[in-house]
């Protein structure tokens, strides 16, 4: 990694014509995973909706949600308990605490009865432990492949399944010092982030690349890559392992399952954690937005980490309120919920 200099800059240029996208130019020292870090930041700032809720307010304040407990009290009030980390590391100051409470009061209006901030002490240790997960649910959530023949809640709807045919190939004939990686895949929110985080975790450096505009819902991406030691990727087994890993991440970077948890209905969303320990941005916000748009209330919610398939996962668990217009035990309804949540997460 290079040393920062006075030439480091981030330039944001508005599109030349109405409706054209903004162009962001970043000039900084190179390092392995630079593209992943930039894409992570871009995804954090994602496309906002016109209505706000608590998760968006916290996101705007640069407060990362570590864990959540959301419960409905007998008198119909909602108690939201957020375990958060301040990305600015200023939450210990009175000014930062007041700013946070004022922002939440502004978002929630008269519906906010009280807002308090305090250091999470040992009395909350039991809330920081994620509830146990059955082996059947864990297998469904973390399995490496999806079978179209199996009738499961994770199965993709026919129209999406037709589009999700990722092509990932390597070519060493075009450059004497780099391996060409060609990717053709359906476009989705976080498309570049998913590729960059995978390459970063595999210690792959990107020299340069290009990607096309969206055509019929798909993107094409060409990247000239090499190992961290500067060598091309010539081992066929390593080429196949990299392509397979990328295909998996393109097929379903987020896992969505709906199941029974005792007498209740539970929605689970899982996403891989980067080797650096960072989770995917905005997942909690997108899921709560999707459920809200369906008119489904959340009885309780929690976020935790789970190890499976030789990697760490961030798992979001939502107990759904049965007192809604949907018959949550109906399999058709459940598949509709899964499809809606997935589409919001993927930006479709």
pLDDT in tens, 70-129: 666 666 667 777 777 787 888 888 898 888 888 888 877 777 778 888 877 665 655 555
- Banded model confidence at residue 193, pLDDT cuts 50, 70, 90: confident
pLDDT higher than 60, residue 35? no
- Banded model confidence at residue 151, pLDDT cuts 50, 70, 90: very low
Widest pairwise Cα distance in the chain:
70
Strand ranges inside the chain, DSSP E: 9-13, 23-27, 63-72, 78-86, 167-171, 179-186, 204-211, 218-227, 255-261, 264-272, 298-308, 311-320
pLDDT higher than 90, residue 170? yes
How much is the mean pLDDT over the chain?
77
Output the pLDDT for position 104: 82
The larger pLDDT score, comparing residue 169 to residue 73, is at 169
The larger pLDDT score, comparing residue 74 to residue 312, is at 312
Q: φ and ψ at 290, to 5 degrees?
A: -65, -45
Output the pLDDT for position 296: 87
The span from the CA of 165 to the CA of 161, in Å, is 8
pLDDT higher than 50, residue 332? yes
The larger pLDDT score, comparing residue 118 to residue 182, is at 182
pLDDT higher than 80, residue 167? yes
- Any residues with CB less than 8 A from the CB of 57 and at least 6 apart, and which? 103, 104, 107
- Banded model confidence at residue 237, pLDDT cuts 50, 70, 90: very high
User: What does the pLDDT look like over 313-325, one tens digit per residue?
Assistant: 889 999 888 777 7
pLDDT higher than 60, residue 41? yes
Q: Residue 127: helix, strand or coil by DSSP?
A: helix
For the residues 268-295, what does the mean pLDDT come to? 86
Q: Output the six-digit token pair for 268.
A: 């689970």
For the residues 165-175, what does the mean pLDDT come to? 88
pLDDT higher than 90, residue 267? yes
Output the pLDDT for position 1: 38
Output the pLDDT for position 50: 26
The larger pLDDT score, comparing residue 91 to residue 155, is at 91
Helix, strand, coil % over all residues of the chain, rounded to 5 = 30, 30, 40
pLDDT higher than 50, residue 253? yes
pLDDT higher than 70, residue 2? no
- Banded model confidence at residue 3, pLDDT cuts 50, 70, 90: very low
Output the pLDDT for position 150: 40
Give the angle subtended at the CA of 284 by the CAs of 38 and 11, to the nearest 5°: 25
171: which DSSP letter? E
pLDDT higher than 50, residue 51? no
């Amino acid at each position: 990694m290079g040393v920062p200099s006075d030439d480091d800059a981030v330039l944001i240029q508005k599109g030349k014509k109405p409706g054209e996208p903004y162009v962001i130019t970043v000039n900084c020292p190179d390092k392995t995973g630079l593209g992943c870090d930039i894409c992570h930041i871009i995804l954090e700032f994602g496309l906002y909706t016109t209505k706000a809720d608590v998760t968006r307010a916290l996101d705007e304040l640069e407060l990362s949600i570590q864990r959540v407990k959301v419960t409905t009290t007998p008198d119909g009030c909602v108690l939201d308990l957020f375990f958060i980390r301040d990305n600015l590391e200023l939450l210990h100051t009175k000014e930062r605490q007041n700013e946070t409470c004022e922002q939440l009061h502004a978002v929630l209006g008269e519906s906010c009865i009280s807002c308090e901030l305090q250091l999470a002490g040992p009395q909350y240790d039991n809330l920081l432990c994620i509830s146990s997960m059955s082996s059947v649910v864990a297998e469904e959530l973390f399995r490496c492949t999806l079978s179209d023949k199996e009738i499961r809640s994770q199965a993709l709807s026919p129209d999406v399944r037709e589009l999700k045919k990722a092509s990932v190939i390597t070519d060493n004939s075009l450059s004497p010092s780099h391996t060409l990686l060609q990717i053709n895949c359906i476009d989705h929110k976080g498309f570049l982030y998913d590729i960059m985080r995978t390459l970063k975790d595999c210690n792959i450096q990107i020299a340069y690349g290009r990607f096309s505009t969206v055509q019929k819902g798909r993107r094409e991406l060409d990247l000239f890559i090499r190992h961290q030691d500067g060598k091309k990727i010539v081992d066929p087994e390593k080429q196949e392992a990299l392509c397979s890993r990328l295909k998996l991440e393109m097929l379903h970077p987020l896992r969505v399952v709906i199941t029974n948890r005792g007498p209740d209905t539970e929605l689970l969303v899982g996403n891989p954690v980067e080797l650096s320990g960072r989770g995917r941005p905005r997942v909690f916000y997108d899921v709560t937005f999707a459920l809200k748009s369906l008119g489904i209330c959340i009885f309780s919610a929690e976020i935790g980490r789970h190890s499976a398939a030789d990697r760490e996962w961030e798992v979001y668990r939502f107990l759904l309120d049965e007192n809604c217009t949907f018959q949550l035990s109906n399999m058709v309804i459940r598949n509709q919920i899964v499809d809606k949540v997935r589409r919001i997460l993927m930006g479709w």
